[in-house]
């Protein structure tokens, strides 16, 4: 189920809880990517609030928003050049190997075809590219309340996300978590949210975090295939077939001893297999 861009914008820009979540997620991202100078940085889903720290640093910034969600001009403000683009969920207007860093937020858990989405992400990343997935934590409080965007779609555990990424030629590199404070609009929790984020990053009680943050790298040498698929390995004789003489075949009927024909008069007879002369047999 896709959320509407109007609801996402209202949460992140017009509510204290959304602004608190935005700040916590930005800090988690900067811890993973402290330097993006000159890189091409893109976001998919509703990653616009998380892209702002990269605007004055990266060589290029793009906010890709799926059609099922809708699009809004971004960044806001008079005179700011728009970098948001409305795209098909699994077909982006980007060249292959054109993005250095990619942020996927509110994109994977709501996607109806996650396999196709991951294939498209793999296509646009450069061979050394990195992608960060921000998804709801299935054991956290945020996934259990639909008052925030993290209460929609499919929540994940670290193990589930790890398996999904490896299946689609991504190697998980680093794991983190965010949103340790409860998804509450009460002033007490909002004021203590910054402290709870600091304590959460230090002691890492990830089971209670609202969002999982996983960084993965693109693997250019991996081959997609179902788990446990058999691979045919030819035998040495099959490899050399046609380059050597005919291969010996076993005798039909098993290992039977074949006796030589009776010797004619004057032939050499082995002592191991004597033949009686014809006069004696008479």
Q: What is the dihedral of CA 164, 125, 106, 35, to 10 degrees?
A: 110
Share of the chain above pLDDT 90, in %: 65
5-218 in CATH: which number? 3.40.50.150
Q: Which two tokens stand for residue 73?
A: 């001009």
Terminal-residue alpha carbon distance, the chain: 103
13-24 mean pLDDT: 96
**Distance (Å, whole) CA 228 – CA 106:** 32
**Distance (Å, whole) CA 183 – CA 142:** 6
Q: What is the pLDDT of residues 21-64, one digit of tens each?
A: 999 999 999 999 999 999 999 999 999 999 999 998 999 999 99
Helix H segments across 83-144? 114-124
Cβ–Cβ under 8 Å, residues 227 and 188: no
The pLDDT score that the predictor gives to residue 268 is: 45
**Distance (Å, whole) CA 121 – CA 59:** 19
Q: Please say if the pLDDT value at position 98 is more than 80.
A: yes
pTM of the predicted model as reported, rounded to 2 decimal places: 0.77
77-89 mean pLDDT: 88
The confidence band for 241, taking pLDDT boundaries of 50, 70 and 90, is: low
Mean pLDDT in the chain? Answer: 84
Using DSSP, state whether 102 is helix, strand or coil.
strand
Task: Quickly count: other Cβ atoms within 10 Å of residue 255's Cβ.
Answer: 6
Q: Please say if the pLDDT value at position 274 is more than 60.
A: no
**Distance (Å, whole) CA 251 – CA 26:** 75
Measured N-to-C along each axis, helices 158-167 and 114-124 cross at an angle, to the nearest 10 degrees, of: 60
Q: What is the CA radius of gyration of the chain?
A: 33
Q: What is the pLDDT of residues 111-156, one digit of tens each?
A: 999 999 999 999 999 998 999 999 999 999 999 988 899 999 999 9
198-214 mean pLDDT: 86
The pLDDT score that the predictor gives to residue 59 is: 94
Taking the domains of the chain in order of start, what are their residue ranges? 5-218
């Amino acid at each position: 189920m896709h959320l509407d861009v109007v609801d996402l914008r209202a949460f992140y820009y017009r509510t204290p809880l959304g602004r608190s979540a935005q700040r916590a997620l930005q800090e988690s991202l900067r811890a993973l990517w402290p330097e993006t100078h000159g890189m091409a940085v893109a976001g998919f889903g509703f990653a616009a609030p998380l892209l702002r720290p990269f605007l004055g640093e990266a060589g290029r910034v793009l906010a890709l928003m799926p059609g099922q969600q809708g699009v809004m001009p971004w960044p806001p403000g008079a005179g700011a050049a728009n970098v948001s683009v409305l795209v098909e969920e699994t077909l982006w207007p980007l060249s292959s190997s054109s993005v250095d860093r990619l942020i996927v937020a509110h994109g994977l858990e709501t996607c109806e075809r996650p396999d196709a989405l991951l294939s498209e992400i793999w296509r646009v990343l450069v061979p050394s590219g990195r992608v960060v997935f921000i998804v709801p934590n299935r054991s956290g409080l945020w996934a259990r309340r639909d008052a925030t965007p993290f209460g929609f779609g499919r929540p994940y555990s670290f193990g589930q996300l790890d398996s999904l990424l490896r299946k689609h030629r991504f190697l998980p590199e680093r794991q983190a978590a965010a949103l340790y404070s409860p998804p509450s609009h009460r002033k007490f929790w909002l004021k203590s949210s910054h402290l709870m984020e600091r304590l959460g990053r230090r002691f890492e009680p990830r089971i209670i975090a609202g969002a999982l943050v996983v960084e993965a790298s693109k693997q250019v040498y991996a081959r997609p295939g179902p788990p446990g698929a058999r691979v045919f390995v030819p035998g040495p004789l099959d490899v050399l077939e046609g380059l050597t003489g005919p291969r010996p075949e076993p005798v039909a009927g098993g290992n039977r001893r074949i006796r030589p024909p009776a010797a004619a008069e004057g032939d050499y007879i082995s002592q191991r297999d004597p033949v009686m002369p014809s006069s004696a047999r008479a």
